[in-house]
Amino acid sequence: MPDSFLEIWHGDILSVNIERQDYYAFLSDEEKLKATTFLRPELQKKYIKTRGALRKVLASYLNINPQSICIKTGKYGKPFIENEIFFNLTHAGNKFAIAVSNCSEVGIDLECHKNRINLQGLVGKCFSKQEKAYWQALAKEQQEIMFYRFWVRKEALVKAVGRGIALGLNQCVVDPLNQLCFIDIPSDSGEAGEWKIVEVTLNKDYVCAVVINDVEFNYRLKELK
Ligand SMILES: CC(C)(COP(=O)(O)OP(=O)(O)OC[C@H]1O[C@@H](n2cnc3c(N)ncnc32)[C@H](O)[C@@H]1OP(=O)(O)O)[C@@H](O)C(=O)NCCC(=O)NCCS
């Protein structure tokens, strides 16, 4: 399928050279109203920037005005459009990333690996037996980065499926020996082998992964200024 694609758009949330109004203009009337409800200015700016960026990106595929795109929300909160375009959004720290594909449902997760404390506790709760064993055996200096690599893969899977963390992160098991595959996922979410993990490299402070159906596609990383 030569026309199949997976494109990742990324950018800074609070970039100084972008006027709030650029992205505000892309929002729907309902979103503009929601933007007035944020008490903290930085949260309002983050909402306007990420939602506006999502609309700007989607409009580039659909060839329509960003404001007029009808973004719906699934049962567990996953945004979608009724079109052959699949997408998912993530934000962490000062960055956001949007995955867009015409192949299959897609999930993306981004983490800034300076924020998290109590990795042991999260590993205990959210990693499977195999993942825990692999992680515990790593050298201490490897543990932090590997925690985030596994974490974003697992989160991207629950976002691709659309169920969110209620799916059970500890039941979405990354293969420690081939970290681009899952060896187990909850049975009502299909076969583990149907999903492919794509590692996305943004910069040294962030870890990011996409999960998508295991098909052939052209991959591109694009920066949104
Ligand atoms: C979806 C979820 C995994 C996001 O985790 P996160 O790492 O905190 O946030 P991210 O920045 O990566 O992603 C947030 C974006 O994911 C998207 N999203 C929301 N729900 C989603 C879902 N069920 N599936 C896929 N994507 C979802 C939204 O676009 C959201 O951004 P927005 O709120 O600005 O529109 C998590 O919030 C979740 O599981 N939500 C579902 C609710 C739920 O099951 N709660 C159980 C509480 S125990």
List pLDDT tens digits, range 76-87.
Answer: 999 999 989 999
Q: Is the CB of 165 under 6 A from ligand 1?
A: yes
What is the set of domains in the chain, with CATH numbers?
5-223 (3.90.470.20)
Q: Whose CA is nearest to atom 10 of ligand 1?
A: 90
Ligand 1 atom nearest to 76, measured from its CA: 23
Q: What is the pLDDT of residue 139?
A: 95
The per-type count for the chain, helices as H runs and strands as E runs, is 6, 11
8-state DSSP, 104: S
Q: Whose CA is nearest to atom 48 of ligand 1?
A: 166
Mean of pLDDT values over 9-19: 75
Tell me what percent of the residues of the chain surpass a pLDDT of 90. Answer: 84
List pLDDT tens digits, range 130-181.
Answer: 999 999 999 988 999 999 999 999 999 999 999 999 899 999 999 999 999 9
Q: Is the CB of 79 under 6 A from ligand 1?
A: yes
Average pLDDT, the chain: 93
Helix axis angle, 119-126 to 140-161, nearest 10°: 40
Q: Whose CA is nearest to atom 26 of ligand 1?
A: 78
| Euclidean distance between CA atoms 84 and 81, whole angstroms | 8
How far, in Å, is the centroid of ligand 1 from the Cα of 81? 16
Q: Is the CB of 46 under 6 A from ligand 1?
A: no
**pLDDT surpasses 50 at 1:** no
Q: Whose CA is nearest to atom 18 of ligand 1?
A: 78
Burial of 108 (0-12, 13-18, 19+ CB in 10 A): buried
34 versus 2: which is more confidently predicted? 34
List pLDDT tens digits, range 170-216.
Answer: 999 999 999 999 999 999 888 999 999 999 999 889 999 999 998 89
Beta bridge partner(s), residue 208? 110, 200
How far, in Å, is the centroid of ligand 1 from the Cα of 140? 30
Question: pTM, whole model, 2 decimals?
Answer: 0.94
How far, in Å, is the centroid of ligand 1 from the Cα of 62? 24
